Structure 1
Amino acid sequence: MDYLQPLDRVAIEFGPFTIYWYGIIIGIGILLGWVFATREAKKLGLSKDTFSDLLLWVIPISIVSARIYYVLFKWDYYSQNPGQIFAIWEGGIAIHGALIGGVVTAVVFANKKGISFWKLADISAPSIILGQAIGRWGNFMNQEAHGTEVTRGFLEGINLPDFIINQMYINGSYYHPTFLYESLWNLLGFVLLLIVRRLNIKRGELFLIYVIWYSIGRFFVEGLRTDSLMLTDSLRIAQVVSLSLIGIAVILIWFRRWKGYAKLQYGKRSN
């Protein structure tokens, strides 16, 4: 059988400059998320510039924190190759690190602006998971973040189109398209959040539901991947973090209701 060549990672080359599809796809995810969040923010009485101002801080800080997270858990390698620490263009960022950096930045931003962090978080939740659903296709273009080896027959059996099957043919073998599994899970989560936010939920709970939903999917998808950051020989860091986040989110929902901190419903205009 003749196999198609993998899709080109490079979108545009001009002179010494190279633009990769990965960056374009991530940019599209951020743009759509920003548009969605800005529209919702305006409906809830926030300035139309709120999320533009927030992204100016969140994007660079999240990239740095994602890299720091990755480097720390691969310190055995980077301690021996310190020159590679800043070589982010060669890959090596972690979504959990980005989320941690983004949340910390949003807390500080909300405090400075006199806005409820939980209100910002609720508005952001659908946008974040939509951006994640889109962003995973950047991994597809790079032929990375894939799962364990499978057969072509398996991929054809789950009715994948040929362009995905061929892109999953890497160095002579086919692999689980875990990027696709997570992307579809996140897209379903996006729809779920749009539905849930119309229900009688309290301030902050939409974001916490996002954390729970994403973490459940990530836990199972991570079990299929071959490039996981490992805590021990058999313990995957992303799975440990996912389980921890589920527990923390559930406890926060219960605790905030028990203490009366979650009095306002989602959608109320008060900051």
Structure 2
Amino acid sequence: MINPIAFQIGPFAIHWYAICIMTGVILAVYLAMKEAPRKNIIPDDILDFILIAFPISIIGARLYYVAFEWSYYSQHLSEIVAVWNGGIAIYGGLIAGAIILFIFSYYRVINPIDFLDIAAPGVMIAQAIGRWGNFINQEAYGRAVKSLNYLPSFIQKQMFIEGSYRVPTFLYESVWNLIGFAIVLVFRRRPKLLKQGEIASFYLIWYGIGRFVIEGMRTDSLMVGGLRVSQWLSVILVIVGISFAIWQRKGKNVPYYQK
């Protein structure tokens, strides 16, 4: 089993979970800053945005998780802030981040659709990396299986939880996001292929479909009334993504992402 603590500096423990998240965020910011000038966005605006949005997104992700696990946290109030032990919901972070993006875009006079287009690929790669934090914390897994012989031994060992091997749903989602990221990188440079907003739409559709399927494999999902919350939200993401793509495609004055 991998120790969730990567190293310690005096009394401070640095968790692998935090390292995975920060690595994903740094890479996402770097990619967005490289792409920003193509959309007439100042790279420094990306830095300013992430300095505001990242902590608020973490709070949003944690509050979302705590809200749906309130029966536990109401009895363990001191653990609400313990994000280093896992227990953040990406949907809560995405919702908080999206709200901040629109507010930030308004005050900086940035087209929020362009901002979403350049941010979406980075979000996908950040999610792909962040899921490995779940792996180390032994969370976001599926049902018990007899073996995981098709996977490297270090994954098999870490996925041996509560006396059984578990379906590595974290890995499926990580790979799914990585594939989506690669698709965007290939197609966004094709002239007159994608219209403004369609990269953001692709993200909503791609992530929504993947999350809906993979969430159905998990055994630790947030539930409301016997239903998986993330699956309902995934359906909403797909509907919004398809609707927005159709709207943009039919728009008369909507520019192409790559002219």
Q: TM-score range by the shorter chain?
A: over 0.9
Cα offsets for 1:116-150 (capped at 9, x unmatched): 00001000111100111111111111111111101
Judge conservation of contact 1:9–1:22 (CA < 8 Å) in 2.
Answer: yes
Judge conservation of contact 1:196–1:206 (CA < 8 Å) in 2.
Answer: no
Judge conservation of contact 2:21–2:130 (CA < 8 Å) in 1.
Answer: yes
Correspondence 1:169 to 2:160: yes
Residue of structure 2 aligned with 1:217, choices 207, 210, 235? 210
Judge conservation of contact 1:62–1:98 (CA < 8 Å) in 2.
Answer: yes
Cα offsets for 1:27-53 (capped at 9, x unmatched): 111111111111111333321212111
The TM-score normalised by the length of structure 2 is 0.94
Residue of structure 1 aligned with 2:80, choices 80, 85, 92? 85
Judge conservation of contact 2:198–2:248 (CA < 8 Å) in 1.
Answer: no
Give me the whole-angstrom Cα distance separating, in 1, the residues matched to 2:194 and 2:77. Answer: 47
Partner of 2:12: 17
Partner of 2:189: 198
SS in structure 2 at match of 1:49: helix
Residue of structure 1 aligned with 2:108, choices 107, 113, 124? 113
> What amino acid is aligned across from residue 77 of structure 1 in structure 2?
Y
Alpha-carbon shift at residue 90 of structure 1 (Å):
3.5
Alpha-carbon shift at residue 81 of structure 1 (Å):
4.1
Instruction: Note closer, same or farther for the CA distance 1:19–1:84 as it changes in structure 2 (3 Å cut).
Output: closer
Give me the whole-angstrom Cα distance separating, in 2, the residues matched to 1:161 and 1:74. Answer: 33
Judge conservation of contact 1:44–1:267 (CA < 8 Å) in 2.
Answer: no
Give me the whole-angstrom Cα distance separating, in 2, the residues matched to 1:22 and 1:85. Answer: 16
Residue of structure 2 aligned with 1:30, choices 5, 8, 25? 25
Unaligned regions of 5+ residues in structure 2, if any? none
Identity among equivalent positions (%) equals 46
Instruction: Note closer, same or farther for the CA distance 1:24–1:75 as it changes in structure 2 (3 Å cut).
Output: same
Give me the whole-angstrom Cα distance separating, in 2, the residues matched to 1:267 and 1:53. Answer: 26
Correspondence 1:242 to 2:234: yes
Give me the whole-angstrom Cα distance separating, in 1, the residues matched to 2:172 and 2:152. Answer: 14
Residue of structure 1 aligned with 2:47, choices 43, 48, 52? 52
The TM-score normalised by the length of structure 1 is 0.90
Partner of 2:66: 71
Judge conservation of contact 2:24–2:129 (CA < 8 Å) in 1.
Answer: yes
Cα offsets for 1:235-261 (capped at 9, x unmatched): 10000100111011111222344454x
SS in structure 2 at match of 1:201: coil
SS in structure 1 at match of 2:43: coil
Instruction: Note closer, same or farther for the CA distance 1:17–1:83 as it changes in structure 2 (3 Å cut).
Output: closer
Give me the whole-angstrom Cα distance separating, in 2, the residues matched to 1:20 and 1:170. Answer: 20
SS in structure 1 at match of 2:222: coil
**When the two structures are aligned, how many residues end up with a matched partner?**
257
Alpha-carbon shift at residue 79 of structure 1 (Å):
3.7
Give me the whole-angstrom Cα distance separating, in 2, the residues matched to 1:44 and 1:248. Answer: 23
Give me the whole-angstrom Cα distance separating, in 2, the residues matched to 1:257 and 1:171. Answer: 50
Residue of structure 2 aligned with 1:182, choices 157, 167, 173? 173
Alpha-carbon shift at residue 80 of structure 1 (Å):
4.3
Give me the whole-angstrom Cα distance separating, in 1, the residues matched to 2:181 and 2:141. Answer: 22
Partner of 1:231: 224
Unaligned regions of 5+ residues in structure 1, if any? 1-5
Cα offsets for 1:141-198 (capped at 9, x unmatched): 111111110112xx11xx2111111111112211001111111101000011112313
Partner of 1:251: 243
Judge conservation of contact 2:195–2:248 (CA < 8 Å) in 1.
Answer: no
Judge conservation of contact 2:145–2:167 (CA < 8 Å) in 1.
Answer: yes
Give me the whole-angstrom Cα distance separating, in 1, the residues matched to 2:251 and 2:132. Answer: 41
Give me the whole-angstrom Cα distance separating, in 2, the residues matched to 1:104 and 1:144. Answer: 28
SS in structure 2 at match of 1:13: strand
Give me the whole-angstrom Cα distance separating, in 2, the residues matched to 1:230 and 1:44. Answer: 40
Partner of 2:35: 40
